[in-house]
Structure 1
Amino acid sequence: MQALTGQGHMSVLPGPCLFFSVLVLFLALPDRCSRHHPDHLPQTMPAQRSPLARPALFALTPCLAAALLSACGGGSSDYSLSGTVSGLSSSGLVLATGSQTVSVASGATSFTFPSGVGSYAVTVKSQPTVQTCAVTSGASGTASANVSNVVVSCRAYLAYVTHGSSDTINGFSVSSSTGTLTALSSSGSAATAYPPTNIVMSSDGSKAYVSFQDSPVIASYSVASSGALTLLSNTAAVSETRGMTLSVDGKYLYSTNYTDKSLGQFSVGSSGVLSTLYPTSVTAGSTPVSVVATADGKYVYAANSGDSTLTGYSVGSGGNLSALSTASYSLSSASAPRGLATANSQYLYTTLAGSAKLLAYSIDSSTGKLSALSPASVSTGTTPYALALRSDGRCAYVVNRSDNTVSQYIISSGVPTALATATVATGSSPVAIALSPDDRFAYVANSGASTVSVYSVGTSCDLSLVTNVASGGSAPTGIVVR
């Protein structure tokens, strides 16, 4: 027999507890039997005994049994939950299971949750500075004994660039001090059968997803702590894809079906492989190019370049999208919305490639309805393509493809205002931008120069060029840092 100890794990029930538990039940049993089966009583049972002894003991049996079971540890299904950590060299890592959390110190090699568990699902709630950690083994289950096989692996940031002319994905390590990129070995790169258009990664950096021009598939990759990419699967999409976004919990992926006027919707399996939801797509506008999900998991929005509209959707319990009551927002003719980003589930921003504007909206938390802020727009450079926000929503950056610049803004109450130095230079034809997860560095992929411009991010949102590095292929189309 086992019992729960004060440390939240099971131990063998001590002999005295077992003996007295059985004794209490045994002593009470004859009186219960005598009421219903008197012929079964032993004839040699002593006659002189207090008439209250057996009934009283019988009446107290449930209480005594409960007390003994409690004292001896019976009746509980809780077990301790612990595991190992590798590679952690910075502070800030917080792990969670249910409502429980545990903070893991820099340099730690193990962790234990403060209370016992039955079923469990360990996730990374907060990432450490300058590193990305993932639960790589033993993440979930139902405990039948103490659990100690959860494995958390941490690594420095990695960056990946997709290339439309060389049909490659190229990986880089990221310097924690300067943000500089260093090309990984060949295992950190991958050749693709078609021109890749975009890349996104799971929040723990363990999976990557790549979309393609001229091919209706989305490729899923596992990402090793070394940066090595391994193809997991190619999942059919409705049409070729331009934009993708993952839900914050990593359970769903949404894509823009570029030639189908629709969004694709997928569930993400525990291995990282995608499965199409039903229906496989929902209606969007013409030529959807980008899609974004709010951090609270409630809404998804798409930018449709062909008919200059935005479309909005609510997210169901199974990840399925449904058009909002106000489903579509018409923008000025030929404005060609391109980039999309949300801040704190409160604001939505989009770039207008055809009219050199950055639009700002508030998001109604109850309905998902968009309302233009005042002022509704600010100027950008020529042909604003991609857009990135600092994680706290305080800074915004827009890459301007035709004038080779990044516009930089500070945001207050959702409204962006250009900095005194409104733009900084990039390489030729910038098309994509990403911030490091700790917001210390920004990275711009330059399609014309086949380079990546690296910037440090100042406290007032100002960018300072660190260096330009070769992107590893020809004509970059997307970049991600995780």
Structure 2
Amino acid sequence: MRAPENPFDRVRVGRVKPSERTCIGMGLRFLCFLASSLLLLFLFSCSSGSSPSGTGFLYVATQGDSTVTPFTIDLSTGHLSANGQGAASGSTPSAMVLSSSGKALFVANKGDNTITSYAINSDGTLATGSSTQCSTGVSPVNMATDSSGKFLFVTYLGSQLDPNQPSAICVFSISNTGLTQASVVTFAVPSPGPSGVAVTPDAKFLYVSNRFDNSVTQYHVDDSGNLTSFASYPAETTPAGMALVTAKNNTFLYVANSGSNTVSGYVVCLAVNSFCANADGTLVSTGSTFSVQLGPVAMAASSDGAFLFVVDQQSNQVSQLKIAGGSGVLSANAPANQKRQKSSAEANHVGTFRIK
């Protein structure tokens, strides 16, 4: 029997120059970084079916020209092709997420505090976007949607001490590409600094990492999208991106700690088991914190929950970790990390991604 393929067995890494692409093969999905003469790609999202062949779509948001550009991916080779014209975003796009249906794309813009919504055409191109703004909150930094596509959750980092730059968590109801504000949680100064965000598939529990006070907050989400703070958990230094992973009937939450260069793991209590006395969404530490490279800020897991990939911004690397499905404990997946060389155009921007 053929041994399972290491998701990074097929890796091509090179210097990123204007108009060049460097693709890192991740099994049948691909992470691609694109530089322009002004600014590097810092964020993208992939959408495809479960088949290893066929065509997928990739979307690149560039801050320099505030544009989202679509590409097609040959899922058997990873080759990219331009796919129509780019669509205008708001100012300084900072986060991106696909709807659960794969028919809508949402982009957060920290320069003007807006969310741009796009319909995805059948050929992967984007319709002209429409803009939505939360009633409060400055500098949207992360977004998440539940598996049913009912809500979009957006964290606004704001300022720790300036009340004129409020931090917030805004919840929008989703209807196709339309967004309607359902609720908002605002924070008085000193703000905890809501940053990373993850939601359980049933949209009952929301988790937010707080980069200013080094914590993770659990919220209950009601049917109307209102949030109620339920519990707070200590995190390591400057928690940032989060990833919710299902592996072997267990659900785990991983938090990238950019200040301590680690990834922390928690069991999410969605069922009574050996870890959890109650199915109330509480977090139980896996007892394992894994050291990665410098400045981890974003993560994504393979669809089978076996691997976790961490973007280490300051060391310009992607760390590859194995997830023990029974315990959630992390270990290195040789080779432990992949170096991505950068050009002067990249200016410390980072790729974040979603794998389907």
Which TM-score bucket, shorter chain as reference? 0.7 to 0.9
Bigger-Rg structure (1/2)? 1
Q: CA deviation at 1:361?
A: 0.6
Cα 1:162–1:480 shift into 2, 3 Å: farther
User: Is 1:407–2:319 an aligned residue pair?
Assistant: yes
Cα 1:199–1:175 shift into 2, 3 Å: same
Question: Is the contact made by 1:361 and 1:372 (CA closer than 8 Å) also made in structure 2?
Answer: yes
Residues 450-470 of structure 1: CA distance to partner in whole angstroms, max 9, x if unpaired? 9xxxxxxxxxxxxxxxxxxxx
Residues 224-247 of structure 1: CA distance to partner in whole angstroms, max 9, x if unpaired? 022221235211122231100011
Question: Is the contact made by 2:89 and 2:116 (CA closer than 8 Å) also made in structure 1?
Answer: no
- What is the CA–CA distance in structure 2 between the aligned matches of 1:427 and 1:267, rounded to whole Å? 40
The residue that corresponds to 2:104 in the other structure is: 207
User: Is 1:343–2:248 an aligned residue pair?
Assistant: no
Structure number with the higher helix fraction is 1
Residue aligned with 1:228, SS:
coil
In structure 1, which of residues 247, 268, 272 is the aligned counterpart of residue 177 of structure 2? 272
Question: Is the contact made by 2:299 and 2:353 (CA closer than 8 Å) also made in structure 1?
Answer: no
Question: Is the contact made by 1:348 and 1:363 (CA closer than 8 Å) also made in structure 2?
Answer: yes
Which AA in structure 1 matches 2:74?
A: S
The residue that corresponds to 2:215 in the other structure is: 309
Cα RMSD for the two superposed structures: 2.5
Residues 2-55 of structure 1: CA distance to partner in whole angstroms, max 9, x if unpaired? xxxxxxxxxxxxxxxxxxxxxxxxxxxxxxxxxxxxxxxxxxxxxxxxxxxxxx
Matches within 5 A, 1:233-244: 233-237=130-134, 238-239=136-137, 240-244=139-143
The residue that corresponds to 1:24 in the other structure is: none
Residue aligned with 1:342, SS:
strand
User: Is 1:380–2:292 an aligned residue pair?
Assistant: yes
Question: Is the contact made by 2:262 and 2:292 (CA closer than 8 Å) also made in structure 1?
Answer: yes
Cα 1:191–1:477 shift into 2, 3 Å: farther
User: Is 1:448–2:346 an aligned residue pair?
Assistant: yes
Unaligned runs of 5+ in 1: 1-125, 132-154, 430-445, 451-474
Residues 160-207 of structure 1: CA distance to partner in whole angstroms, max 9, x if unpaired? 111222322121101121122222221xx1123411001111123210
In structure 1, which of residues 249, 258, 277 is the aligned counterpart of residue 157 of structure 2? 258
Residues 392-431 of structure 1: CA distance to partner in whole angstroms, max 9, x if unpaired? 22111111111121111111121111123211122339xx
- What is the CA–CA distance in structure 2 between the aligned matches of 1:169 and 1:367, rounded to whole Å? 39
Q: Provide the aligned length of Structure 1 versus Structure 2.
A: 285
TM-score under structure 2 length normalisation = 0.74
Structure with more relative contact order (C-alpha pairs < 8 Å, separation 6 or more): 2
Which AA in structure 2 matches 1:399?
A: V
Matches within 5 A, 1:2-401: 127-130=49-52, 156-186=55-85, 189-237=86-134, 238-239=136-137, 240-259=139-158, 260-269=166-175, 271-277=176-182, 279-281=183-185, 286-324=192-230, 326=231, 328-332=232-236, 335-344=237-246, 346-365=251-270, 366-375=279-288, 377-401=289-313
- What is the CA–CA distance in structure 1 between the aligned matches of 2:52 and 2:114, rounded to whole Å? 33
- What is the CA–CA distance in structure 2 between the aligned matches of 1:447 and 1:262, rounded to whole Å? 32
Aligned identity (percent) is: 29
- What is the CA–CA distance in structure 2 between the aligned matches of 1:193 and 1:315, rounded to whole Å? 28
- What is the CA–CA distance in structure 1 between the aligned matches of 2:345 and 2:219, rounded to whole Å? 32
